[in-house]
Structure 1
């Protein structure tokens, strides 16, 4: 076999004619067939293959018996891709080029970070996004074993009917394509990965897909050099390390041969006219554009004659090698010509340090592939790309209250439209709440159109999501004409239409859409961005990188500011350990069931019920909708925010002394006690008094007793958690406003926020949704289900400042998100951010206290919040087994609701078990989110 001496480059970019070696290197040590094989790359999928699988055997044979130069990896899994490539690389005596078509990131083929399309990137208006995409793609590709990326597309999409380039292009003029492709190339090559500009000399101005037949572009030489060739020239000048040549006929350049087989084009322009010294790569020789005109063995020979260094995917590798070999023996191709290409290939492999056998281990993948930092950037780019082309009636963001009944029509000629739109449609449905869905994935007959028109008749608005996939053999670049006819007829009904294109931005006409949004793709990031744009969760600022018609030209796009932060679902975080922990707690009888809501930013990471609402036989499952008695969470979900609101309205002040409300406080030891002291639990009041043990006691008697209680300690001198202080706040609030606490909470927060499962004293129609809290054998002697658990709150009529509120985890999540977002939610300001900041940070009353105003913060040692919430976090616990924690630094909310006192609060060691569970639960959750 080959005894290859390493090549060390003396400077950063040396090509065949300038080769200088530190050690002697002799191509003569390789046979002619070995050298030819170095110019061949074949396909492998990224699936797991056992040793008996025919694909694995085939590629193994090509490596061991022919010494092929490279392989191209396609769809599969991260695991399969990594281990396949690792094994093949180890088999090969000369390291392999391993390439992939990661135009939209590693996530395009395996479970890596998925980016939006090139057209979306340019619509974002920020070339830095192209660099970041290239850099991240290269980092992840390198981690799984890829060293060559067949991107970027340098084609100019100047033909609206192009069925294969379309949104894969950065735009419809050379300036845009250059502006975004160069940073992308820089990003890829910053990681010592080979970028590849394609499809030279330009695949944009054609309505033919070269996968199926040969496109012909009838442009003059002057037109080509002034347009199509500009991005390629700029890329070559900026040292793109490879260029892929297309199977396209350019009669003005070479009337006989497509570019791949044309020496006039490949060598004449790239090598001779431009002096390009990088790798020249053919497009796949298996494509219909070549196979329909040229025998595949001859195609391989002609590609080498034309100037190609690397041949992709010949139909038969042995025939390709033998055909080229015979052409050399017949003096049709010189061996020197072969040597030039092989020198370039070996130099690039040395330049990438492939001879160092530096294959990463699996842990490198875990630290670099699809990490949060990468996916966040990809989503940011997708968000910035969304383009609002028209919005005739200002329908964006969608007013859910105004448009109570909407129909969502998903249009495509793709059978998989429903599954592809699954998460997007779910988000639309969940966010709006009343959506009729219609899926159309074929040509519509007149009867079919009539049936749909009947269904949409009573809609306030119709959302039409159009999926036009650009893929080989697809052959179309816009929606079906029957689908366009449907849109026209809906428009004539006078129903407002929001149209959203996923994929191709081009439509037969735009006049029948009141609103038109372009996403330029249909990957998960674009789907999330689309629903976020519709509901106002993100700023809309994208600009068209192509001209749609005379009205909607390149650079056009309306701007709409984000007015909403409604959650969308995101399952990127694996909470399997967390769930296992919850089920273990259920099995250990710490609680019969639990409800968990976890979010980061605008993404709901987990919103799920676990176990049963009770231990009773035939008990119902806990669901997202199950309602719990939140106990002391009332203090921070009702009492504290109402105080905040009244302070903003100048009806209360933290510095108001209690003596202004209660004359009995006008004594030396009490006169300086303020509302601030009540909120920080530093007022001197006792923690708790069992008023329910006093026969016949009522609210007035309770309030009177509290205000006449002697203080246990000097105010400000210590912290002692006190229900009594919160009961006084209830009385103060209601005296100041003349309204009940529950009424104020509903008015200010629960109703406008859509917290429909949050209430005091639940009505009978909610009882079936409520988890029973306890079998009360001490006071009321009955099952407590929809009846407040806290005895003092019960005496006070079910509404108190310290307890009484019922809710579910997702409702609490909404409230906390409003606070984390500075008091804004769905375009409405509930608080100024300053008062939120003031109430949620430690007050040091007394010094070193963990208490904020109403809220608790994580203690330095042994906090039930665990060890990973930031110091700026705030939260609270409830006696019934509830808790809420918000982390403004990491934008995280964690809500845990249980009925741990069911069937009784006197379960053995329940306090200790619940404490340990809470700590471990929060630690596990935060570790998964933060990657700690």
Structure 2
């Protein structure tokens, strides 16, 4: 059974008694309910509805969807006040408190922290995330991401990984955890996505991931990361819908390819490797269960209980709550989910709740005054610090920098955003910020048209496409522009496996035909791998975030008012020689 006196629980006798008494008082349905972290997707707060849901399903944890800080605080505390057993309330703060509520602080991406010297920015990222998530009643951080970024084509973890080297990931993940614990000692941290993303380019929202490293390669990278953090008392691990076939073949000699499952459903990876070999005693939770990475490999009636049987203690989200819980109950009644495995999972859940002191009402219901910490000036200073210390000059082979606006004032701005996905598109607000910050720096900005914006401004017309094909005489362009700036703010999520630069139409005047006519600078406000699509740009900056602080800091560095301090990861060159020219 679970050793609740050992790491990471470290419970005393009184806490263990609470676990035992609580467990022994539970019905089978209450035990099954503890296995689920459910999503609150309905906006607003209806106490009767919340109470009814808790009485019916007895869920162990909560994630919410939408709402400002006041609403989310009320919602989370209402759940706690009406729950028989204190709830885990989870937050997903990859970039700061903005992951908890819209008023939260964007501090930095993991890639940004990895580009900076030392780990102070990762610590600040964890601290602000912990402080702001705690203010709305969270006690479980679904971070840090500890994926090792091995494949530049992978965009699902591009900005979410601290880097391509295991030691850098370890150092920054450790700092993030320390930051969270400094903000709130009663908040659990979670390393994800075991057994490790970043090796291939596929997104587990769309397909089962496959980490194809050999056993030795995995041990030297992902294995090193997880073993180190486990030895240091890691509390929780989120398991990705990612297979690790070479490890499965080692642990289960003769296993057929058709039987190789994502880690969420793999007993050899969760029980044999993670629990027994790696000696992880903490809480294991699946990644979101609606991902195709899980549903494409098993029927849901098998996958829901199958994850618990394989070694997960908790199941993230439900399709139909009653149906999913019934699947677990049937597996228990049929003997597939043993009494021992169910008891182990529930005791581990209760043990973590005791470890976090969730039995103390002052812990699970924070003082509402803590909401003032969200988005406060001190936290915004952390964002400014990260931008100053991490923004990276990837290359400047033609010595185009610095650009003095007193001498080279006229800039041709090409802004490339993500393809609009709604008829409600009225323009990209980040584009407006870029223009404002360039003008504030003293530049005269000539904005290249975008087909999407022309359709909004002029209405749907074939003439918009014609305008996008327009290229003025080269000499006239040279005479009226001192340099060109290509700003790329492209990002995608759970819609395609790779996200690349997509110009707003074919043969567009946005394309870098101007690259050899005037000095041209590229700047990414998101992904770090855009040189694959614009290798001909001889100057390139990774600014990491589409936030005003980052845009302003990047322009200050571009103009020589501030030095570039970030260091580029080798992956930015995408394994090609021409991206370095």
Q: 1:495 — aligned with what?
A: 518
Match of 1:360 among 356, 359, 366: 366
Cα gap change, 1:69 to 1:535, in 2 (>3 Å): same
Q: Count matched residues.
A: 540
CA distance in 2, matches of 1:220, 1:12: 30
1:546-575: CA deviations, max 9, x gaps? 43338999xx99xxxxxxxxxxxxxxxxxx
Cα gap change, 1:544 to 1:344, in 2 (>3 Å): same
* 2:40 is equivalent to residue 44 of structure 1: yes
Match of 1:96 among 75, 87, 90: 87
Match of 2:470 among 426, 451, 454: 451
Larger RCO of the pair (alpha carbons < 8 Å, separation 6+): 2
Q: Give the C-alpha shift of residue 433 in structure 1.
A: 4.3
Mean alpha-carbon deviation: is it higher for 396-405 or for 299-308? 396-405
CA distance in 2, matches of 1:323, 1:503: 41
Equivalent residue runs for 1:653-732 within 5 Å: none
Q: 1:272 — aligned with what?
A: 276
CA distance in 1, matches of 2:509, 2:303: 45
Q: 2:553 — aligned with what?
A: 529
Cα gap change, 1:257 to 1:372, in 2 (>3 Å): same
Q: Give the C-alpha shift of residue 123 in structure 1.
A: 0.6
Q: Give the C-alpha shift of residue 143 in structure 1.
A: 1.2
1:792-814: CA deviations, max 9, x gaps? xxxxxxxxxxxxxxxxxxxxxxx
Q: 1:249 — aligned with what?
A: 243
Partners of 2:8 and 2:281 within 8 A in 1: no
CA distance in 1, matches of 2:496, 2:430: 17
Q: 2:572 — aligned with what?
A: 548
Match of 1:195 among 189, 208, 224: 189
CA distance in 2, matches of 1:238, 1:403: 53
* 2:455 is equivalent to residue 460 of structure 1: no
CA distance in 1, matches of 2:472, 2:225: 47
SS of residue matched to 2:513: helix
Gaps of 5+ in 1: 1-8, 558-932
Partners of 2:34 and 2:346 within 8 A in 1: yes
* 2:395 is equivalent to residue 390 of structure 1: yes
Cα gap change, 1:483 to 1:312, in 2 (>3 Å): farther
Q: Give the C-alpha shift of residue 310 in structure 1.
A: 0.9
1:174-228: CA deviations, max 9, x gaps? 1221121111122223322111110001111111111112222333222222223
Q: Give the C-alpha shift of residue 163 in structure 1.
A: 2.7
Q: 2:334 — aligned with what?
A: 330
Q: 2:251 — aligned with what?
A: none
Match of 2:355 among 351, 357, 360: 351
Q: 1:34 — aligned with what?
A: 30
CA distance in 1, matches of 2:48, 2:447: 47
Q: 1:76 — aligned with what?
A: 67
Q: 1:321 — aligned with what?
A: 325
Cα gap change, 1:339 to 1:452, in 2 (>3 Å): farther
Equivalent residue runs for 1:136-147 within 5 Å: 136-147=128-139
Equivalent residue runs for 1:864-903 within 5 Å: none
CA distance in 2, matches of 1:338, 1:357: 27
Partners of 1:155 and 1:199 within 8 A in 2: yes
* 2:379 is equivalent to residue 374 of structure 1: yes
CA distance in 1, matches of 2:520, 2:50: 52
CA distance in 2, matches of 1:464, 1:471: 23
1:312-348: CA deviations, max 9, x gaps? 0121221221111111111111122111111111122
CA distance in 2, matches of 1:242, 1:485: 50
Match of 2:203 among 181, 184, 209: 209
Mean alpha-carbon deviation: is it higher for 395-404 or for 17-26? 17-26
* 2:285 is equivalent to residue 291 of structure 1: no
Cα gap change, 1:260 to 1:533, in 2 (>3 Å): same
1:700-724: CA deviations, max 9, x gaps? xxxxxxxxxxxxxxxxxxxxxxxxx
CA distance in 1, matches of 2:129, 2:357: 19
Relative to the length of structure 2, the TM-score reads: 0.86
Partners of 1:466 and 1:502 within 8 A in 2: yes
SS of residue matched to 2:210: coil
Q: Give the C-alpha shift of residue 527 in structure 1.
A: 2.8
SS of residue matched to 2:63: strand
Q: Give the C-alpha shift of residue 381 in structure 1.
A: 0.9
SS of residue matched to 1:141: helix
1:756-784: CA deviations, max 9, x gaps? xxxxxxxxxxxxxxxxxxxxxxxxxxxxx
Q: Give the C-alpha shift of residue 243 in structure 1.
A: 0.4
Partners of 2:44 and 2:67 within 8 A in 1: no
Equivalent residue runs for 1:583-602 within 5 Å: none
Instruction: Name the structure with the higher helix share.
Output: 2
Equivalent residue runs for 1:896-915 within 5 Å: none
Cα gap change, 1:73 to 1:531, in 2 (>3 Å): farther
Q: Give the C-alpha shift of residue 535 in structure 1.
A: 3.2
SS of residue matched to 2:106: coil
Q: 2:233 — aligned with what?
A: 239
CA distance in 2, matches of 1:286, 1:452: 47
1:498-556: CA deviations, max 9, x gaps? 11011111122554223210022324443333233233443311001343338999xx9
Q: Give the C-alpha shift of residue 295 in structure 1.
A: 2.3
CA distance in 2, matches of 1:346, 1:483: 60
SS of residue matched to 1:517: strand
CA distance in 2, matches of 1:452, 1:504: 29
Q: Give the C-alpha shift of residue 44 in structure 1.
A: 2.4
Q: 2:413 — aligned with what?
A: 408
SS of residue matched to 1:166: coil
* 2:448 is equivalent to residue 438 of structure 1: yes
Match of 2:167 among 175, 180, 190: 175
CA distance in 2, matches of 1:257, 1:18: 39
Q: 1:419 — aligned with what?
A: 429
Q: Give the C-alpha shift of residue 496 in structure 1.
A: 0.9
Match of 1:166 among 131, 140, 158: 158
Partners of 1:99 and 1:149 within 8 A in 2: yes
Partners of 1:296 and 1:315 within 8 A in 2: no
Q: 1:224 — aligned with what?
A: 218
SS of residue matched to 1:68: coil
CA distance in 1, matches of 2:334, 2:514: 68
1:711-743: CA deviations, max 9, x gaps? xxxxxxxxxxxxxxxxxxxxxxxxxxxxxxxxx
CA distance in 1, matches of 2:143, 2:542: 23
SS of residue matched to 1:463: strand
CA distance in 2, matches of 1:168, 1:223: 21
SS of residue matched to 2:123: helix
Q: 2:541 — aligned with what?
A: 517
Partners of 2:411 and 2:443 within 8 A in 1: no
CA distance in 2, matches of 1:409, 1:238: 47
Relative to the length of structure 1, the TM-score reads: 0.54
CA distance in 1, matches of 2:38, 2:472: 51
